[in-house]
Amino acid sequence: MTYDAIIIGAGISGLYQLLTLRRLGLSVHVFESGTGVGGTWYWNRYPGARFDSESYSYGYSFSQELLDEWDWTEHFSPQPKTLEYLNVVADKFDLRRDITFNAKVTAAHWREATRDWHVTLEDGSTHDARFLITAIGPLSAPTMPTIPGVEDFKGFSCHTARFPKEPVDFRGKRVAVIGTGATGVQTIQEVAKTAGTLTVFQRTPNWTAPLHNSPISREEMAEIRKTYPDILKRCQETFSCFLHTPDPRGTFEVAPEEREAHWEKLYGSKGFGMWQGNFRDILTDRKANAAVSEFVARKIRQRVKDPKVAEKLIPTNHGFGTRRVPLETKYLEVYNQPNVRLVDIKETPIERITPAGLDTTAEKFEFDIIIYATGFDAITGSFDRIDFRGVDGLRLKDKWKGGPKTWLGVQVEGFPNMFMLMGPHTALGNIPRSIEYNVDWVTGVIRHMRENGLTRAECSPEGVAAWTEHVKSLGVGLLSNEIDSWMTGINRNVEGKNERIIARYSGSAPAYRARCDAVAEGGYREMKLG
Ligand code: NA7
């Protein structure tokens, strides 16, 4: 089939992009590998999955009707409710008629002669479109650990991003969780409620902070609804589009008692405040970072009864906030339960997965269920899994050797008419806020092209060089860039992902938008349009 635009992925970005391009009068089609809409919230149906952003700051803002009609039921929405929300959106805007499900894109090749993209699906069918929009997500390519024997296990096992649609019953079962990132933390605190035994295999502890979730009553939702204009305005103004934004004061500019009181307040408040609303220098100044880390370490020692276990849960190779801070609900207290055990696999590494469980260097374990909370090939992984080829057959994977190079995180030189939503080097943060901006901006370019009879859009090499340099310069001095994590492109389960790269734009979202707005206001003259 031939379309004006093909979108890969029916998650939050793909759905909204479909709507805006359809409203522009384009023939648009979405190919989605899942059987339903929702992207991240379709795939990540592991026990305990939920937002770490306040629900009302996360939902779409483009439709007043949707804001008026939809009720969030918890301050941090659980995955089933979020998936329901995205299905409501798909129905309300009649999006499904332009989506093919179970349709995995395997290749997308640019054809200069016809100025279009030739897209191939796993089933061998091909489809063409002038514009190609990738809505494939920065955290959507799950990675299994490279531990020998993963295939041998006879019980039930799966990656957190591939949980079955039917609920898994943990009651009385011997369960293992490998991985203690944001996903592992959510899984562990939920599974511990019912499992017979839960054994957590931790390689690196992460700093966490309390989520403080609670239900939203109908009356409270009515109040929240009245304040939507303020909520959304605030999200536009803050550094990363969260309701929280750094305190303008430096850590040591305030008296010790005041500092302690501030941290107590943040630790006791909802959401990302402890990470995103902390003193302005905790992620750049080593002493400030050490001080806040010490505060959180004290909390861990207070909340975990066994001092040896508490010490194992305190990170020693990175400071607070230099990796993504998982938010938790009684996560630390899980380790006070008699049915839960923490195994430090730095001390006693896993040697292999066996038919009955797994062997570490110290012990043989037997399990009924093994859950792999081992994360994603982040940022570029979802791109690497599709054979993208641009002008003269240039492979995107080759183009990005040594780290991604983009223009505004939206375009790649040599890949005309391809636009990335939430691509590398774009503003992430509270993702839907950035997605809506990204989608509207891409829609603006395409509108401009249609109005002016243009059929080819490419960024300039100078533009890419300048943006890549800008992104690199923003990362200078950030403590997080000295640490291994998905945010610095490290994933030891994936070949070639052992070197830290600058994977993310770490400037402010308002600055990012101002830069993109300037391009639009300048009539897109910075692009090579023809
Ligand atoms: P993360 O944050 O990348 O966490 C993955 C976890 O799995 C982490 O604890 C890893 O330990 C551990 N891991 C990975 N491979 C192995 C092997 N081979 N053996 C043992 N342990 C392993 O992924 P998440 O899914 O939790 O979160 C990703 C983002 O998604 C999150 O930040 C949210 O924004 C949404 P390591 O730290 O590498 O030692």
Amino acid at 482: E
Whole-number Å distance, alpha carbon 478 to ligand 1 midpoint, is 21
And the tokens for 67?
């804001």
Q: Is 47 in the pocket of ligand 1 (CB under 6 A)?
A: no
Whole-number Å distance, alpha carbon 488 to ligand 1 midpoint, is 13
Return left, alpha or beta for 480; rule: phi > 0 is left, psi -120 to 50 is alpha, else beta: alpha
Give the closest residue (by CA) to ligand 1 atom 23. 375
Amino acid at 303: R
CB 126 within 8 A of CB 387: no
Please compute Rg for the chain using Cα positions: 23
Q: Is 139 in the pocket of ligand 1 (CB under 6 A)?
A: yes
- The per-residue pLDDT for 428 is 87
Give pLDDT < 50 ranges for the chain.
none
Find tokens 């194992």 and name the residue. 312
Q: Is 142 in the pocket of ligand 1 (CB under 6 A)?
A: no
Find tokens 């607070």 and name the residue. 320
Q: Is 381 in the pocket of ligand 1 (CB under 6 A)?
A: no
Whole-number Å distance, alpha carbon 184 to ligand 1 midpoint, is 7
E strands, 303-386, are 327-328, 340-344, 350-353, 357-360, 364-366, 369-372
- The per-residue pLDDT for 505 is 95
Helix (H, G, I), strand (E, B) or coil at 358: strand
Whole-number Å distance, alpha carbon 465 to ligand 1 midpoint, is 31
- The per-residue pLDDT for 143 is 98
Helix (H, G, I), strand (E, B) or coil at 174: strand
Q: Is 177 in the pocket of ligand 1 (CB under 6 A)?
A: no
Q: How far apart are CA 234 and CA 236, in angstroms?
A: 5
Q: Is 493 in the pocket of ligand 1 (CB under 6 A)?
A: yes
Q: Is 182 in the pocket of ligand 1 (CB under 6 A)?
A: yes
CB 503 within 8 A of CB 471: no
Give the closest residue (by CA) to ligand 1 atom 33. 182
Whole-number Å distance, alpha carbon 202 to ligand 1 midpoint, is 10
Whole-number Å distance, alpha carbon 374 to ligand 1 midpoint, is 4
Q: Is 145 in the pocket of ligand 1 (CB under 6 A)?
A: yes
Q: Is 322 in the pocket of ligand 1 (CB under 6 A)?
A: no
Tell me if the pTM is above 0.85.
Answer: yes
- The per-residue pLDDT for 393 is 98
**Cross-strand partners of 457:** 529
Q: Is 373 in the pocket of ligand 1 (CB under 6 A)?
A: yes
- Nearest partner of 373 among 149, 200, 192, 166, judged by Cα: 200
Residues in the chain, how many? 530
CB 309 within 8 A of CB 335: yes
213 to 50, 79, 82, 156, 460: CA distances (angstroms): 10, 14, 15, 30, 46
Q: What is the dihedral of CA 181, 182, 184, 190, to 10 degrees?
A: 160
For helices 228-237 and 509-521, the axis angle rounded to 10 degrees is: 90
Whole-number Å distance, alpha carbon 476 to ligand 1 midpoint, is 24
Burial 21-43 (b: 16+ CB within 10 A, else e): bbeeebebbbbbbbebbbbbbbb
Whole-number Å distance, alpha carbon 328 to ligand 1 midpoint, is 16
- The per-residue pLDDT for 283 is 97
Whole-number Å distance, alpha carbon 145 to ligand 1 midpoint, is 10
Helices and strands: H and E segment counts in the chain:
18, 20
Strand order of the sheet with strand 350-353? 350-353, 357-360, 364-366
185 CA: nearest ligand 1 atom: 26
Q: Is 505 in the pocket of ligand 1 (CB under 6 A)?
A: no
Q: Is 147 in the pocket of ligand 1 (CB under 6 A)?
A: yes
139 CA: nearest ligand 1 atom: 30
Give the closest residue (by CA) to ligand 1 atom 4. 181
Q: Is 183 in the pocket of ligand 1 (CB under 6 A)?
A: yes
And the tokens for 240?
């990363």
Whole-number Å distance, alpha carbon 162 to ligand 1 midpoint, is 15
